[in-house]
Amino acid sequence: MTPTPAEIPPTLLRAVGVGRSYAGRAVLKNVSFELLAGERLALTGPSGSGKTTLLNCLGGVDRPDIGRIELGGVALETLDGDALAAVRRRRLGTIFQFFHLLPTLTAAENVELPLQLNGVPTEERMERVRYLLERVQVSHRADARPSELSGGEMQRVAIARALAHRPELLLADEPTGNLDSRNGDNILRLLQELSDETGTALVLVTHSPDAAAICHRELLLRDGEIVGETVRLRP
């Protein structure tokens, strides 16, 4: 059944004619797409196709040479470094292939950090950290340092950290790329569940068909261009 306009979620992210070159080589060429609030989008393609560059541009970490990217109606190219940092702090969550947990902080402290950066009161912060660690099933390792955690545990903590401040958009770069298949499956299931629960949109860069399968839509990139789109489900 086709949803009525009132049921269609609003557009969260819009990329229009995005292009990016490094040393004269075009890495992204005229990329345009939209992402709805709560939608999960997979970016797939061979190595060097421009997936990560596109993800960096979406996260405001890299700036396109041409084209524009709007997040919630705000054009990222108009923002300075501090404003982009504020966007990352408040509206985005990021999950990395290599987890990137802060080595001096415990698992709980890593999850707590985005809440501190957003000025969440201590009591609320503690409650949310406890909830998230339980939700990702690592509450028993709350006081462990990253060096004491397994790969799967580290990625669970990283997911909890990325969702702690209730971002509108989650950017994930090969989140299962450094995990075995069992841990990878668990992480994908967790991402799917949490995205559904919180209504957080997800842009997932992956080589894995299994990972892409949890997304509503899949964009296939090749040589910096979108060469195909697969729609699986609507949010």
Partner 1 sequence: MNRDTASGSLPSGVLPMLWRRFSVRHALQSPLQSVLLVVILSLGVGVFFAVRLANRAAVASFQNFTDLITAESDGLIAAPSGTLPETVLTELREALADEAIQIIPVVETTATLPRVSDDEAIGSRSTFQVLGLDLIAVQNLADRRPANRQWLANPGAPSGGEPDASDLRVQARRLWESFRDPHSVFVSPRLAIRRHLVPGQEFPLVLNEAIVPLRVAGIIPTDPGQPEAPAELLVMDLPAAQQWSGWTGRLSRIEFVLEEGPDREGRWRRIRETLERLALRGPGGMAAADGTSLAPRWLVGSPADRRQSGEVMTRAFRLNLTILSMLALVVGVYLVFQALDGAVVRRREEIAILRSLGIPPGLIQRAWLGEAALLGLLGGSVGLMLGWIGAQGAVRLVGKTVNALYYATSAEQASLHPGEALLALALAVLTSLIAGWLPARAAAETPPAQSLGRGHGTTFTGPLWLQRTGWAWILVVLGVALLGVPPWRPEAGFRVPIAAYGTAICWTLAAGVLGGAFLQGLAKVLAWPALRVSHQPVIRLALSVLREPTGRHRLAVAGLVCAVAMTGGMAILVGSFDTTMRGWIERTFQADLFLSSDGAQSASTENRISPETWRGIASHPAVERAQVIQASRLQLPDGETMLVSSDLAFFRDHAKPAWRQAPQDDRVFDPRRNGSMALVSEAFSERFQKVQGDRIRVPTPVGMQDLEIAGVFSDYGNERGSILVDRPQFVRWFGHELASSLILVLRPGSDIEGVRAEFRSRHPGLAVFTQSYLRAEALRIFRQTFAITYALELIGVTVAVAGLAFTLISVLWERRGDLTTLRALGLTRFELAAAAAIEGVVTALSGVLTGIVASLGLGWVLIHRVNQQTFGWTLETDWSWDRLVLLGLMVIGAAALAAWGAGRWGSRLPAEREE
Tell me which stretch binds partner 1 (CB under 8 A): 31-39, 88-96, 134-142, 213-221. 88-96
Tell me which stretch binds partner 1 (CB under 8 A): 9-17, 107-115, 130-138, 217-225. 107-115
Among 98, 180, 196, 232, binds partner 1 (CB under 8 A): 98
Among 39, 173, 174, 218, binds partner 1 (CB under 8 A): 173
Q: Is 184 in the site for partner 1 (CB under 8 A)?
A: no
Q: Is 83 in the site for partner 1 (CB under 8 A)?
A: yes
169-171-175 Cα angle (round to 5): 140
CA–CA distance, 235 with 12 (Å, rounded to integer):
13
Backbone angles phi, psi at 99, to 5 degrees: 70, -50
Pick 168 or 218: Cβ nearer partner 1: 168
Pick 52 or 198: Cβ nearer partner 1: 52
Task: Spell out the alpha helix ranges (H) of the chain.
Answer: 51-58, 81-91, 107-117, 122-135, 151-163, 181-198, 209-212
**SS3 at position 48:** coil
For the CB of residue 205, give the shortest distance to partner 1 in the complex, in Å: 10
CA–CA distance, 108 with 94 (Å, rounded to integer):
17
Strand 201-205 and strand 169-173: the pairing is parallel
Q: Is 62 in the site for partner 1 (CB under 8 A)?
A: yes
Among 5, 10, 73, 119, binds partner 1 (CB under 8 A): 119
Q: Is 26 in the site for partner 1 (CB under 8 A)?
A: no
> Does residue 95 contact residue 173 with C-beta atoms inside 8 Å?
yes
Tell me which stretch binds partner 1 (CB under 8 A): 4-12, 37-45, 84-92, 135-143. 84-92
Crossing angle for the helix pair 151-163 and 122-135, to the nearest 10 degrees = 140
Q: Is 102 in the site for partner 1 (CB under 8 A)?
A: yes
CA–CA distance, 72 with 79 (Å, rounded to integer):
13
CA–CA distance, 35 with 148 (Å, rounded to integer):
37
Among 1, 7, 121, 231, binds partner 1 (CB under 8 A): 121
**Residues in touch with partner 1 (CB under 8 A):** 52, 55-56, 59, 61-62, 81-83, 85-90, 92, 94, 96, 98, 100-105, 109, 113-114, 116-121, 161, 165-166, 171, 173
